[in-house]
Amino acid sequence: MHEDADEDDVEQVRRLVETTYRDESRRVFATLIRLLGDFDLAEEAMHEAFAAALSQWPRDGAPANPRAWLVSAGRFKAMDVLRRRVRFDASLAELAARLEPTTAPPDDLEGPDVEDDRLRLIFTCCHPALPSASRVALTLREVCGLKTEEVAAAFLTSPATIAQRIVRGKAKIREAGIPFQVPALDDLPERLDSALAVVYLVFNEGYSASSGESVTRANLSEEAIRLGRLLVELLPEPEATGLLALMLIQESRRAARTSAEGDLILLEDQDRSLWNARHIAEGQALVERALGSGRVGPYTVQAAIAAVHADAPDAQKTDWPQIVALYDVLARIQPSPVVELNRAVAVAMRDGPEPGLALIDDLLDRGELAHYHLAHAARADLCRRLGRAAEAEASYRRALELAKQEPERRFLKRRLRELS
Amino acid sequence: MRFICLGYMDETKWDGMSEAERSAMMEECFAYDDELRRSGRFLGGEALQSVRNAATLRFRDGKVQITDGPFAETKEQLGGILILEARDLSHAVEIMSRHPGVRFGPFEIRAADDSINALIEAREARGGVK
């Protein structure tokens, strides 16, 4: 009887180590990077700390604060590692000395600093001096804890390529002196832009995928949303909130945006009952919070546009005047021909195809979008609605020449067939 | 006159060298630098880390933008700088032609701009930040 109870206790402690690993390992890792100043050493130390927990907690009982225990154990393990290495490399002696327990204040292991460590890690991995491909790979590997193979699968590339990006990124962080810090207030907007761009890139990589590889890639969108939540939790800046809202509302349409055959379904043709109401509600509340801040950035405006769509029962009943007004705001704070193209499409919905077509033709005449397949596809669609079949066909053909993704090509071919 | 000598190198060539080749080449360069020091011609210098570890600042749309890079369309990258005292350009060329580093990559030799340096000195004399 007594032995059974012991075994239950042991089992319970083992489960605690497992849940602690799942929930806390990235925080422990981030804090160890701050204390040790080295990604690889921190990783090794973290794994040794969890190994130690597996053998010691069942014997001695679980500590009151598992995370602090793990960080502290990790530091000791790192010192062991360094002492072993010092015999081979004298330059490590200085680092080893720095890590002696007397030099670190005990409050380093708890409190707000520890939360900041994850933020430091995000800003370090998303530093704009790192090559963009390294930023994404490092963030997924070090902040999200994905395996190199998982990152490779999601980006349809080899683990060796991803490993190289990660190694180069870590080498640059070390050698170029990129600090493990949350940027100062002055630099924050720009550095936050860089971090948000990484998150949105990860999201889009998971969102714009075709059906074949959709399982692994959908996980990327989930990972991006998780990162977005973490950023909002740690640094509730309006644009971080806006990006999270944008991702949630886009994600809400996932089930409705492709057919069973993997074909693209346009927003106006989607079965809106398939939209995820929970994501929409959360996204809309976040948009309102971001708009309420009075500092409105491009992610927030895009999220607001998505929120207006989410409110409408169908394309006809959409509040197009409001969407055009939001595109006006977006074009002012982030001028780009693609934004103008989207605005033109919204104008066509508000005022009819002809004024929209005039705007798109202007844009195409300026040349910037001449090689952008969606500009030609949008033009084709408006010509089709105006009954100008020959023009529509020519534009669909041009779009098809430029489109690269298979679902988009299938969609354009389908439209061409429908015309004839 | 002071000349700034910018030493360029092909990083892929460097990456392809063996450890022994690298240290032999550097020893040669250091020996010549020492010779320049002894004759008072070596005013200073810095070796630079790989461009892979560089950050590029640009002013764009009214703010400073940080990127990685420089993106090397050219094969050769700045690997180090040397500040040299010489009588004139031909003297500087003569000295740097004997520098072993030139066998590894080109040197760009630029005279210090004394008119701008004079402006800076004048400003310091007026009590600018030293």
- For residue A189, the chain B residues in CB contact (below 8 A) are none
- Residues of A within 8 A of B56 (CB-CB) are 129
pTM check: above 0.90? no
- For residue B99, being part of any structural domain is answered with yes
Q: DSSP H helical segments within A63-131, as ranges? A: 66-86, 92-98, 112-125
Distance from CA of A172 to the nearest CA of B (A): 5
What are A286's two structure tokens? 């976040």
Q: Helices marked H in chain B — which ranges?
A: 11-15, 19-38, 89-97, 114-125
Examine residue B104 and state whether it is found in any structural domain, yes or no: yes
Q: Which domain holds residue A380?
A: 340-420
Which pLDDT tens digit goes with each residue over A66-111?
999 999 999 999 988 888 877 766 666 666 666 665 444 444 555 5
**What is the number of H-type helices and E-type strands within chain A?**
19, 0
At position A368, the amino acid (one-letter code) is E
Cβ distance A176 to B67 less than 8 Å, yes or no, reads no
**The pairing of beta strand B107-111 with beta strand B76-85:** unpaired
Kindly report the number of other CB atoms within 10 A of residue A190's CB atom: 14
Cβ-based contacts under 8 A for chains A and B: 32
Give the count of domains, chain B. 1
Question: Would residue A77 count as lying in a domain?
Answer: yes
* Chain A interface with B: residues with Cβ < 8 Å: 128-132, 168, 171-172, 175-176, 190, 194
CA distance linking residue B67 with residue A189, whole number of Å: 15
Whether B49 contacts chain A with CB within 8 A: yes
The reply to whether residue B66 touches residue A131, judged by beta carbons under 8 angstroms, is no
CATH number (domain holding residue A358): 1.25.40.10
* Closest by CA position to A41, among listed A96, A88, A78, A83: A78
A98-104: long-range contacts at Cβ-Cβ below 8 A with a sequence spacing of 24 or more?
A99/A35, A99/A36, A99/A75, A101/A75, A101/A76, A104/A35, A104/A75
The owner of tokens 């074949």 is: A212
Q: How far apart are CA A18 and CA A12, in angstroms?
A: 10
Q: Tell me if A282 is assigned to some domain.
A: no
- Taking residue B67's Cβ as centre, other Cβ atoms within 10 Å add up to 18
3-state secondary structure of A45: helix
Express each pLDDT in A358-405 by its tens digit. 999 999 999 889 999 999 999 999 999 999 999 999 999 999 999 887
Q: Residue B39's domain is classified under what CATH number?
A: 3.30.70.1060
Residue by residue, pLDDT tens for chain B (130 residues) are 999 999 998 888 888 899 999 999 999 999 999 999 999 999 999 999 888 888 988 888 788 888 887 765 567 889 999 999 999 998 999 999 999 999 888 999 999 988 888 888 888 888 866 5
Under 8 Å between Cβ of A353 and A385: yes
Please give the residue range of the domain that contains residue B6.
2-50+77-125
Does some domain include residue B12?
Answer: yes
| For residue B70, cis peptide bond before it (omega within 30 degrees of 0) | yes
